[in-house]
């Protein structure tokens, strides 16, 4: 796994803006199209550790899968949430930028500058 990477959705304006900002700062990250190549549960746990956030904070609550899987239920465990994101990558907040063992969500895109 490359040291500098972005979990990217090219259809998302924030994701595109984040990638453009990185390139403007001479950063050429490995681009992971996470909807096509979703991270598995172990990779998600690693990302969450680098992000220093609980799994629920990485969930996109507006996606249909969120309601369909009952993820608003506070009784859902962290493992259940991670497994749901691994199985349904649309649930993963985007973009996630990883650099030198640290990670940040590019919302707003300028967030990525904090870890360069």
Structural domains present in the chain:
1-34+94-116 (no CATH), 40-92 (3.40.30.10)
Active site residue 73: no
Residue 59 has a pLDDT of: 97
Q: What is the pLDDT of residue 2?
A: 63
Show the tokens assigned to 97: 């930028």
Q: Which residues pair with 30 in a beta bridge?
A: 5
Helix boundaries (H) for the chain? 13-24, 41-51, 64-68, 78-87
pLDDT at residue 1 is higher than 60: no
CA distance 44 to 84: 11
Strands 4-8 and 30-33: parallel
- Locus of tokens 């990477």: 5
**Which residue is catalytic, options 12, 53, 113, 115?**
12
Reply yes or no: is the peptide bond before residue 108 cis, omega within 30 of 0: yes
> What confidence tens digit (pLDDT) does each residue in 33-64 have?
999 999 999 999 999 999 999 999 999 999 99
Give the model's pLDDT for residue 3.
87
The label of the residue with tokens 């993963």 reads 92
Q: How confident is the model at residue 77 (pLDDT cuts 50, 70, 90)?
A: very high
Q: How much is the mean pLDDT over the chain?
A: 96
Q: What is the pTM of this model?
A: 0.95
53, two tokens = 């956030």
């Amino acid at each position: 796994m490359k040291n500098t990477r972005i979990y990217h959705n090219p259809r998302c304006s924030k994701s595109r803006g984040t990638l453009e900002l990185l390139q403007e700062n001479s950063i050429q990250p490995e681009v992971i199209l996470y909807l096509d190549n979703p991270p598995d549960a172990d990779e998600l746990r690693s990302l969450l550790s680098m992000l220093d956030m609980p799994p629920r904070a990485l969930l996109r609550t507006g996606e249909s899968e969120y309601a369909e899987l009952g993820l608003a239920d506070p009784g859902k465990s962290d493992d259940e949430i991670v497994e749901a994101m691994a199985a349904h990558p649309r649930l993963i907040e985007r973009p996630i930028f990883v650099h030198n063992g640290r990670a940040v969500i590019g919302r707003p895109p300028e967030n990525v500058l904090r870890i360069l």
